[in-house]
């Protein structure tokens, strides 16, 4: 039978859904901010321009945020795959061990 590793499947899906939703959320949020700022500065005529500038800034910041987040997740995966090897010291290897099983 083909056994799947613990890293495969839907177990890691939550964090990738969060990364996938980061870009659209930042675009929409900054689009609305740009729309409000544009309207407050120049009235209805600047509303569309502010929304466009906000959407472009949101896209740029969203792409950067996704890039940084994916880099962080890759760093965590590499760190978790590294096995820490414990090598006892020579003194610990040569130590004489006494077990007191009788309790006397």
- Reduced to 3 states (helix: H, G, I; strand: E, B; else coil), residue 25 is helix
For every one of its 104 residues, what pLDDT tens digit does the chain have, with 9 covering 90 and above?
444 455 556 667 777 787 888 889 999 999 999 999 999 988 888 898 999 999 999 999 999 998 998 888 888 888 877 776 777 888 888 888 877 776 55
The residue among 13, 10, 54 whose CA lies nearest residue 36 is 54
Phi-psi region of 86 (alpha: psi -120 to 50; beta: other; left: phi over 0): beta
pTM comes to: 0.62
Could you give the CA distance from residue 24 to residue 82 in angstroms, rounded to a whole number?
34
User: Packing angle between helix 13-42 and helix 47-81, nearest 10 degrees?
Assistant: 160
The answer to whether 34 touches 51, Cβ cutoff 8 Å, is yes
């Amino acid at each position: 039978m083909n056994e799947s590793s613990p890293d495969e499947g839907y177990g890691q899906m939550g964090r990738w859904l969060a990364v996938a939703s980061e870009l659209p959320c930042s675009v929409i949020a900054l689009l609305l901010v740009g729309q409000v700022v544009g309207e407050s500065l120049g009235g209805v005529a600047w509303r569309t321009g502010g929304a466009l500038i906000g959407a472009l800034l949101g896209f740029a910041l969203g792409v950067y945020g996704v890039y940084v987040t994916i880099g962080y997740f890759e760093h965590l995966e590499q760190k978790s795959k590294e096995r820490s090897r414990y090598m006892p010291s020579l003194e610990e290897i040569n130590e004489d061990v006494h077990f007191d099983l009788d309790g006397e």
